[in-house]
Amino acid sequence: MAIAIVAIPGFALAQAPAPAQTAPSSPSVTSPPTATVTTPTPAASARRASQIIGANIINEENRGVGEVHDLMVDTAGGATIAVLSVGGFLGVGERYIAIPLSELRWNSERERWTLPGATVDSLKARPEFTYPTRR
């Protein structure tokens, strides 16, 4: 066994180096100019999704009419949908409805999301939203 361990370094040194390969000559290739990447700057009125999901929605009378349960973002660039939870208490009896996110308005005086003209009953009357099945 000792001979094998001693012989391994000698074997490694006894190997001849591989012949160097030369690259075929080719016309010089220039790199394309580097693209300037700009980071989009959100508008001052922009809100993070995490500040919308879970937000209580009120109407003009300052009455709660629902809560944003989720946002559905169209991968094809279509309208973002707000999924609202309405009519429940502590998660019991609630149902989901979908509205275009563009219908929600930010009330900067109260720092809340509003849905003009909405009542709990008018939202309950909308068709129930069910999540699409995963593909």
Give mean pLDDT in consecutive 10-residue pieces for the chain, a chain of 135 residues: 49 54 59 74 76 89 91 89 85 86 90 91 92 77
Tell the CATH topology of 49-124.
SH3 type barrels. (2.30.30)
Tokens 């946002």 — which residue? 71
33 bridge partner residues: none
The DSSP annotation for 69-85 comes to EEEE--TTS---EEEEE
| SS3 state of residue 97 | strand
Say which DSSP state 61 is in.
T
Domain ranges of the chain: 49-124
